[in-house]
Amino acid sequence: MNPERTRALALIEQTAREVADAIARGDLPELRFPLRSLANVRYEPGGGFALGPATKTRSLSAGGARSFAQALRMMTLSHQMLRDDDFASKREAYYVSKNWGDCRFESQPESDEIIDDLEALVSREGLVREHLGFFPEEHAGSVVGMLTVVDTDPETGETVEVDCRALGRGAYSIPRSVEHLSFRTDAKFVLAIETGGMFQRLHSHRFWRSSECVLVEMGGVPTRAVRRFVRRLADEHALPVYCFVDCDPYGIANIYRTLKVGSGNAAHVSAAFSVPTARFLGVTPQDILDFGLQDATHPLVDVDVKRAHDALEHDPFFAAHPAWSAALQQMLAMGVRAEQQALAKWGLNFVLQEYLPRKLAAPEAFLP
């Protein structure tokens, strides 16, 4: 068992012991969880979103008995999974409860709520949901390039090495939890790409070989596993991370911002699931001018404009970076957005032969 799982197990046992002790003393037992709401969230420019000190309590009162029991049951499930080296998706955890009699959850938001509370609890110790055995359901993204992923066969315990340069036109599909992986790499940087089409283009042309990099297909807003995977590469191998997405408010304020600082409604895990060193390679509004893409743009629609204004007015990340405010204002003034595939206007491989080399020659100019 890895050290984080051992610590998670100890935390569950300690919490359970406190409940047992309270009962033995004749006190009403209670479980105290960090409060997960925007009111209890801080933005730390160097790091990302972080949880404040406020807490909420589940106690064994008349009104709270069921939810108290459910929390203990969920801790028991986590404890079993950690001992058995097993895991469950949040959806599966919900279904497991169907055999809990009166404690069963009626809907998944109820069970998710308790899993999120448990995660907030262990986040105080630098742990995340995956360390408790709860995995996300979503597909996690793909990787190729100058990287060897070191894993173990969960059945035989043998070491398994996946050479991400030796997958043909295929790719390494990131598992739903990446905590147990380690890496060997002599890459110079990580390029995190929004669309599968662009990923396949750069991969098929062996851009990772000529540029000595790792390519990551995010496929839209990056999942927890993708962010954690990239974060670990950035931290443990000191790799710069460059983000290559569409020039639109979604690419910037959703995809890039989530990669860089995490998700606003999961601030208790942003520290682990964000890549604070990430920089924005493009496509920038200025690129539309610099690379002559004006006639390959699309007008901003209402939802784009709303998203840009939301970012400018309500998102502490953009408020903290004048360069970003200026870029979003420029996009609004131009009234257009451009997809990364728009570069194909100058030929299918313009992106490989011109755009990326020119941009990568001056990473210090990337947006923060």
Binding site for a copy of itself (CB under 8 A): 81, 86-89, 91-93, 95-96, 98-99, 104, 135, 137-140, 142, 149, 151-155, 160, 162, 166-177, 180-181, 195-197, 200-201, 204-206, 209, 217, 219, 295-296, 339, 341-349
Active-site pick, 43, 94, 95, 256: 95
Which residue lies nearer to a copy of itself by CB, 77 or 311? Answer: 77
- Evaluate whether 305 touches 334 at the Cβ level (below 8 Å): no
Which residues does residue 338 pair with via DSSP β-bridges, in sequence order?
247
Q: What is the smallest separation between the CB atom of 286 and a copy of itself, expressed in angstroms? A: 19
Minimum CB separation of residue 217 from a copy of itself in Å reads 8
Instruction: State in angstroms the smallest separation of the CB of 16 from a copy of itself.
Output: 20
Q: How far is the CB of 94 from a copy of itself (least distance, A)?
A: 8
Specify the residue, 119 or 339, whose C-beta has the smaller distance to a copy of itself: 339
**Nearest residue (CB) to a copy of itself, 37 versus 152:** 152
Which is it for the CA torsion 299, 301, 304, 309, positive or negative? positive
Nearer to a copy of itself by Cβ, of 305 and 344: the residue is 344
Q: Maximum CA pair distance of the chain?
A: 76
- Shortest Cβ 125–a copy of itself spacing (Å): 24
Alpha-carbon Rg for the chain, nearest whole angstrom, is 23
In 3D, which of 96, 90, 19, 99 has the Cα closest to residue 60? 19
Q: Report in angstroms how near the CB of residue 49 gets to a copy of itself at its nearest.
A: 26
Buried b (16+ CB within 10 A) or exposed e, 165-180: eebeeebbebebbbbb
Is the C-alpha dihedral spanning 307, 308, 312, 315 positive or negative? positive
C-alpha–C-alpha distance, residues 353 and 105, integer Å: 55
Buried b (16+ CB within 10 A) or exposed e, 247-260: bbbbbbbbbbbbbb
Q: CB nearer to a copy of itself: give 56 or 180.
A: 180
How far apart CA 247 and CA 337 sit, in angstroms, is: 6
Q: DSSP label at 4?
A: H
Q: Which is nearer to a copy of itself, 135 or 280 (CB)?
A: 135
- Closest separation in Å from C-beta 97 to a copy of itself: 8
Q: Concatenated DSSP letters for 51-115?
A: E-S-EEEEESSTTTHHHHHHHHHHHHHHHHHHHHT--EEHHHHHHHGGGSGGG--SSHHHHHHHH
DSSP letter assigned to residue 27: P
Q: Is 95 a catalytic residue?
A: yes
Q: Which residues pair with 243 in a beta bridge?
A: 192, 280
- Indicate the residue among 245 and 342 with the shorter CB distance to a copy of itself: 342
Dihedral class, residue 101 (left if φ above 0, else alpha if ψ from -120 to 50, else beta): left
Q: Which residues are catalytic?
A: 95
